[in-house]
Chains A and B, each alone.
Chain A
């Protein structure tokens, strides 16, 4: 009898030793880092709500293989030095199974190598940095398109489709802006073109009047603005007030209802890129998907209109949950990686056309263009890739 108990204890100890962090009989514990306070809280809170709404819905339907998904949210205020501390705490103290949906380029880059070396899957980053997918890292799975890809697609659209001859690029003087600039220039060089004007700016500045004069002097056919909502709106207002009435294209973080509600008549005719389906008359399928998303979201946040950041969080949760399902009844981190690598143009409710492979980590390679007309987002192209 005594031998039996010793055997049982050894088995139990072995099971504990080899058990996957974050996997319990009744739940899977995962972590995320978000800016819940500070100047970027608008993004972090939206993204967190999107994730929570989806996980709440999954849990209320029995979870994944009988396990509920428990999300621990760490507030790093989009400060990379805090991100490192918070992510180490999540991995080493909270023993999370994976990090899902971290927010912010610098924070994601700061913890990317750490998570990869620890073998902790890092699914979805709220960042458009191409450094996340290139070179591919075994445990890092970006979903959002990167700015290098987006910049190339913008140049392809402006020159290939709209036949613009001269393009000015106004870009935030940071990694996001610089990467976008590189993307546009890379594709323009294929057409033997270069930007008419490259103008870096500080997104915190509140007046671009004197800089706008440079744009007017360059007199480009089209302006590409690599900025986020408020600084992009400041640019558009200034340019239009000065009488600039040609094509203005900006990036996917601005494909947000707030961009239209804050910009009002100024954003009419502005073109934004998009990677998330937008409900429209031309796309009844997307309308159904969006309605389902809103229904799920409002179960957790009644009467609240979800932001585009909430959509991002929702997609992060969708991708992870699908991979967890595919990883089987006894998930491990290795099984999760294999499951993600099997994604081949996978479509969820809001997540569309996601693919990975053994050495492929750019989850999303296609985008489309949307025009703002009468205060509504109207898709003007189908999904476009670099090849077609």
Chain B
């Protein structure tokens, strides 16, 4: 039974991980916790629905949304975040909250507030396994999400470790001023991070929509859980954010199973508070030492 709870927890957690990665990516290069992240994805899902309405396949609709979402990420960063660079972190946070509401308002006005369906990219009956005396149901779409998670992780690892852009990203994330002095175009690097993050958010929203259905509030749960996962990982690195998401998914599944579902949000959040009290830098974070 433990094994099947872990598997089911990972299936839930993989969505949190993808959201957490997008949040941490932007945070690492620009120091901004982007609360509009989920709603950027929600807008992407609506745009995918428009492509679908034009007769395109669900996969083609999703792929076409990626450049659109990337442009959205660029525009948000270029015209709101960059001009406001230098204001306090808390003010930036409020700005992203404002953008979140703007996106929601735009979605309600343009697309209406009713739920809309986006088909699964891979159809077919789910796989049902009997593992260790328990049942495990794996939807084909969830398996696709796990595959996309794996591919995206490899892509990000290669980007960060083996390309100049990746090197520049790491440099900007460590010290933007010094990176600039070394000739790194930090504005461009931050824009690229926003573009990747917004695209990822759109992909997550599209993949999650068979469960959540498309509506202006569709990403609220994922935004909160992804943020929690990122906090659990200490907003430290993409791998740690991914681990945080998985851990949160497994934790929630275990609490729901062992202590009762009503305790799930309470116990999960109490765990986060406990982690932050004991290890403020996050479960996997490293304590930063600064010379005085």
Contact surface of A with B, Cβ cutoff 8 Å:
36-42, 44-46, 173, 199-202, 204-207, 209-214, 216, 229-230, 233-234, 238, 241-243, 258, 261-262, 307
Specify the chain A residue showing the minimal Cβ separation from B222. A206
Asked if residues A207 and B135 are in contact (CB atoms below 8 Å), the reply is no
Instruction: Tell me the smallest distance from the CB of B286 to a CB of chain A, in Å.
Output: 32
Q: CA–CA, A116 to B262, complex, Å?
A: 34
**Chain A residues near B208 (CB, 8 Å)?**
206
In the complex, what distance in Å separates the CA atom of A258 from the CA atom of B4? 34
**What's the tally of chain B residues with a CB closer than 8 Å to chain A?**
40
Question: Which residues of B sit under 8 angstroms from A216, Cβ to Cβ?
Answer: 135
Complex Cα–Cα for A45 and B215 (A): 13
Q: Tell whether, in the assembled complex, residue A262 and residue B213 are in contact, meaning their CB atoms are under 8 Å apart.
A: yes
- Pairs A–B under 8 Å by Cβ, sample size 24: A36-B108, A39-B216, A39-B217, A42-B113, A42-B114, A200-B260, A200-B262, A201-B261, A202-B261, A202-B265, A206-B212, A207-B8, A207-B12, A209-B8, A210-B256, A210-B257, A230-B212, A241-B128, A241-B139, A242-B128, A258-B114, A258-B115, A261-B117, A262-B117
Closest to B15 in A: A206
Q: In chain A, what residue has the closest Cβ to B105?
A: A37
User: Is B137 part of the binding interface, using a Cβ–Cβ cutoff of 8 Å?
Assistant: yes
CB distance from A169 to the nearest CB of B (A): 13
Interface residues of B in 193-252 (CB under 8 A from A): 208, 211-213, 215-217, 220-222
Q: Nearest A residue to B215 by beta-carbon distance?
A: A42
How distant is the Cα of A46 from the Cα of B115 in the complex, in angstroms? 12
Task: State whether B104 touches A241 (Cβ < 8 A).
Answer: no
B residues whose Cβ falls under 8 Å from a Cβ of A: 4-5, 8-9, 11-12, 15, 104-105, 108, 112-115, 117, 125-126, 128, 134-135, 137, 139, 208, 211-213, 215-217, 220-222, 253, 256-257, 260-262, 264-265
Contacts of A202 in B (CB 8 A): 261, 264-265
B211 touches A207 (CB 8 A): yes
B261, A173: Cβ atoms under 8 Å? yes
Please measure, in the bound complex, the distance between the C-alpha atom of A214 and the C-alpha atom of B221, giving whole angstroms: 23
**CA of A204 to CA of B126, assembled, Å:** 22
Contact B104 A37 (CB under 8 A): yes
Q: Are B113 and A45 in contact (CB under 8 A)?
A: yes
Residues of chain A with a CB closer than 8 A to B139's CB: 241
Chain B residue contacts of A40, Cβ below 8 A: 217
A207 to B13, CA, bound (A): 10
Kindly report which residue of chain B lies nearest to residue A233, judged by CB atoms: B213
By the criterion CB–CB under 8 Å, are A41 and B221 in contact? Answer: no
Q: Is the CB of B213 within 8 A of A230?
A: yes
> Are B117 and A38 neighbours in the complex by a CB distance under 8 Å?
no
CB distance from B170 to the nearest CB of A (A): 33
CB contacts (< 8 Å) of A213 on chain B: these are 4, 134-135, 257
- Closest A residue, CB atoms, query B208: A206
Given A202-B265, A206-B212, A216-B135, residue A45 in contact with residue B105 (CB < 8 A) = no
- Across-interface contacts of B256 in A (CB, < 8 A): 210-211
Give the nearest-CB partner of B264 in chain A.
A202
Given A173-B262, A210-B257, A238-B137: A41 touches B108 (CB 8 Å cut-off) = yes
Shortest CB distance A115–B (Å): 26
Q: A212 → chain B, closest Cβ, in Å?
A: 7
Instruction: Please indicate the chain A residues that have their CB under 8 angstroms from the CB of B125 in the complex.
Output: 241
Tell whether, in the assembled complex, residue B115 and residue A230 are in contact, meaning their CB atoms are under 8 Å apart. yes
Give Cα A38 to B217, complex, Å. Answer: 7
Contact B104 A206 (CB under 8 A): no
Q: Residue A229 contacts which of B8, B115, B261 (CB distance < 8 angstroms)?
A: B115
The reply to whether B11 and A207 contact each other, CB–CB distance below 8 Å, is yes
Q: Which residues on B sit within 8 Å (CB–CB) of A46?
A: 114
Q: Is there an interface contact between A210 and B5, defined as CB atoms closer than 8 Å?
A: yes
Q: Which residues of A contact B211 (CB under 8 A)?
A: 206-207, 234
> In the assembly, what is the distance between CA of A97 and CA of B9, in Å?
53
Which residues of chain A are near B104, meaning CB under 8 Å?
37-38
Partner of B216, one of A41, A199, A205, A214: A41
Min CB gap B122→A, angstroms = 14
Give the CA-CA distance A45 to B112 in the complex, in Å.
9
B98 CB to nearest A CB, Å: 14
Enumerate the 7 nearest inter-chain pairs by beta-carbon distance, A residue then B residue, closest first: A39-B217, A41-B113, A42-B113, A204-B221, A210-B8, A200-B262, A206-B211
B contact residues around A36 at 8 Å (CB): 108
Q: Tell me how far the C-beta of A219 lies from the nearest C-beta in chain B, rounded to whole angstroms.
A: 12
Q: In the complex, what residue of chain B is closest to A241 when comparing beta carbons?
A: B126
- Asked if residues B113 and A242 are in contact (CB atoms below 8 Å), the reply is no
Give chain B residues whose Cβ lies under 8 Å from the Cβ of A45: 108, 112-113
Q: Which residues of A contact B115 (CB under 8 A)?
A: 42, 229-230, 258, 262
Min CB distance A200 to B, Å, is: 5
Q: Shortest Cβ distance from A177 into chain B, in angstroms?
A: 10
Q: A122–B183 Cα gap in the complex (Å)?
A: 67
CB distance from B60 to the nearest CB of A (A): 22
In addition to A38-B216, A38-B217, 11 A-B residue pairs with Cβ atoms within 8 Å of each other are A39-B215, A39-B217, A40-B217, A42-B215, A44-B113, A200-B261, A202-B261, A210-B5, A230-B212, A241-B125, A241-B126
For residue B1, which residue of chain A has the nearest CB? A213
Q: Across the interface, which residues of A come within 8 angstroms of B217, CB to CB? A: 38-40
In the assembled complex, the Cα of A160 lies from the Cα of B134 at a distance in Å of 34
Contacts of A261 in B (CB 8 A): 117
A39–B257 CB distance below 8 A: no
Inter-chain contact A242/B137, CB cutoff 8 Å: yes
Residues of A contacting B135 in the complex (Cβ-Cβ under 8 angstroms)? 213, 216, 242
Please indicate the chain A residues that have their CB under 8 angstroms from the CB of B213 in the complex.
230, 233, 262
- Find A204's partner among B12, B114, B220 (CB 8 Å cutoff): B220
* B257 cross-chain contacts in A, Cβ below 8 A: 210, 213-214
What residues on A are CB-neighbors of B137 within 8 Å? 209, 212, 238, 241-242
The smallest beta-carbon distance between B247 and chain A, in angstroms, is: 16
Q: Give A128 to B223 CA distance when docked, in angstroms.
A: 30
Q: How far is the CB of A245 from chain B (nearest CB, A)?
A: 13
B58 shortest CB reach to chain A, Å? 15
A20 CB to closest chain B CB (Å) equals 35
Chain B residues with CB under 8 Å of A241's CB are 125-126, 128, 137, 139
Q: Which residues of B contact A243 (CB under 8 A)?
A: 128
